[in-house]
Amino acid sequence: MTPLQNRVLPTGEIVSHPAQGMLMGNRGCIHSPERTLGVSRWRTKMWISCVLNWRDRWRDVMPPGRWTALFFLDEATALAAGHRPCGYCRRADHRWLAECWRVASGMAVRPLAVEMDGWLHAERVDRRTRRQVRRQVTAGALPDGAMVRYHGGPALCCGGALLPWSFDGYGAPVSTSPRTRVELLTPPSIVAVLAAGYRPLVHPSAGPTSMRSFSSSIDLEQPRVK
């Protein structure tokens, strides 16, 4: 049986692949009654990432006319694609990211979800081509957790090296110079959030990192911001 087209790449593209991933999310309802995708890749600017299991609720991944469940390898992947933490099932992470956003931007108060959604949408999608916006940067200017395109494929910035990305996890670190030119996939506002202290959840194949690992016991609903 062919897997549904609901797996998300760090580039934001949605493809068919058997790997489930460690987070899910959505961009509104983008599937047909036949459970296939058409041309549209979003119906709302509210792109979120959610836990797979929340209060033991089970839902159809493609209910008619409601929403389309998308799946990500981990949070670094979701952030690169432009998805912020959900304010319901990931409330603590949502507030933590918003607080880091406030610090990074010099705002007096944390931004509302709708404000972050508007800014992110402008950064992640080219209005003319409706494709992901990418930027040329140097590897040394990026914090851990940012995603780039290097040597033709996505890679995670981690400890001064790049970890090649795949649906099954990360490959061995690739050493680079701080001056190495890479194509940035993660939206600039999220890069600033990472630099301000937000630590995304990453697949355990990344190994010991400055980020959080899904292999550790983390209470996703524990408040981190007062």
For 86-125, the pLDDT digits (tens) are: 999 999 999 999 999 999 999 999 999 999 999 999 998 8
**Six-digit token pair at 103?**
């610090």
Neighbours of 159 (CB within 10 A): 14
Residue 224 has pLDDT above 90, yes or no: no
Give residue-wise pLDDT tens across range 154-207.
999 999 999 999 999 999 999 999 999 999 999 999 999 999 999 999 999 999
Residue 222: band (very low, low, confident or very high) from pLDDT cuts 50, 70, 90: very low
Whole-prediction pTM: 0.92
Cα-to-chain-centroid distance, residue 58? 22
**Above 50 in pLDDT, residue 216?**
no
- pLDDT, position 58: 74
Number of Cβ within 10 Å of residue 16's Cβ equals: 12
The chain-wide mean pLDDT, for the chain, equals 90
Give DSSP secondary structure letters for 86-125.
Answer: PTTTTHHHHHHHHHHHHHHHT-SSPPPHHHHHHHHHHHHB
Q: In whole angstroms, what is the distance from residue 158 CA to residue 143 CA?
A: 8
Q: What pLDDT score does 210 carry?
A: 94
Q: For residue 82, give every residue at least 6 positions away whose Cβ sits within 8 Å of its Cβ, in sequence order, or none.
A: 12, 47, 120, 121, 123, 124, 125, 132, 187, 190
